[in-house]
C-alpha cells in the first residue's frame, strides 16, 4: 500500500527565508509524486510533479522538489518565501503502471505561514 507522511503540520518562516516542506512516501512500486497547494477557499492547484527523468523538478512560483529514492523523500523547497506563499501544501503519491485512472494518496498537509 502507498502512503505519504508530511512532517510538520504547521511551518512558519520569515519573508525572504528558505521554505522547506518535508514529504516522505512509502510505495511498493515506483511512484509518481506531486505537490499541490491550496489557497483559502480554493481548490487544489498543482505546484509540480515527478514522474520520470530528472529527479530535481521545478514548478510554479519558484518552488522545486527533489525525488530521492534512497531516502523515499520528495521535499519541497523555495529559496525565498513571499507573503503570497502562505497556504496549505499537500504532497501526494500515485502508482505507476496502474492505468490512467490512478488515484492520488495525500499526506495530511502542511500549513505554511509567512511573516514579515
What track of x and - describes contact with another protein for positions 51 through 90 (by CB under 8 A)?
A: xx-------------------------------------x
Q: Is 80 helix (H, G, I), strand (E, B) or coil?
A: coil
Question: With binding defined as CB under 8 A, does residue 20 bind another protein?
Answer: no
Least Cα distance to 104 among 90, 88, 87 occurs for 90
**Using CA atoms, how far apart are residues 112 and 116, in angstroms rounded to an integer?**
13
Q: Angle CA(24)–CA(97)–CA(92) in degrees, nearest 5?
A: 30
Q: Which part of the chain contacts another protein (CB under 8 A), choosing from 21-29, 70-78, 79-87, 105-113?
A: 105-113
Pick from 85, 107, 110, 112: which binds another protein (CB under 8 A)?
107
Question: With binding defined as CB under 8 A, does residue 104 bind another protein?
Answer: yes
**Using CA atoms, how far apart are residues 39 and 41, in angstroms rounded to an integer?**
6
In angstroms, how far is CA 59 from the centroid of its own chain? 10
Pick from 28, 70, 100, 116: which binds another protein (CB under 8 A)?
100
Residues that bind another protein (CB under 8 A): 32, 34, 36, 41-46, 49, 51-52, 90, 92, 96-97, 99-109
Amino acid at each position: 500500500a502507498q502512503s505519504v507522511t508530511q512532517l510538520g503540520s504547521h511551518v512558519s518562516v520569515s519573508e525572504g527565508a528558505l521554505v522547506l516542506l518535508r514529504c516522505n512516501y512509502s510505495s511498493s512500486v515506483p511512484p509518481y509524486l506531486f505537490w499541490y497547494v491550496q489557497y483559502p477557499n480554493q481548490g487544489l492547484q498543482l505546484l509540480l510533479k515527478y514522474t520520470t527523468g530528472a529527479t530535481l523538478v521545478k514548478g510554479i512560483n519558484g518552488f522545486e522538489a527533489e525525488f530521492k529514492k534512497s531516502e523515499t523523500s520528495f521535499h519541497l523547497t523555495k529559496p525565498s518565501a513571499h507573503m503570497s506563499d502562505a497556504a496549505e501544501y499537500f504532497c501526494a503519491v500515485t502508482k505507476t503502471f496502474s492505468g490512467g485512472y490512478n488515484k492520488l494518496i495525500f499526506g495530511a498537509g502542511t500549513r505554511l505561514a509567512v511573516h514579515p
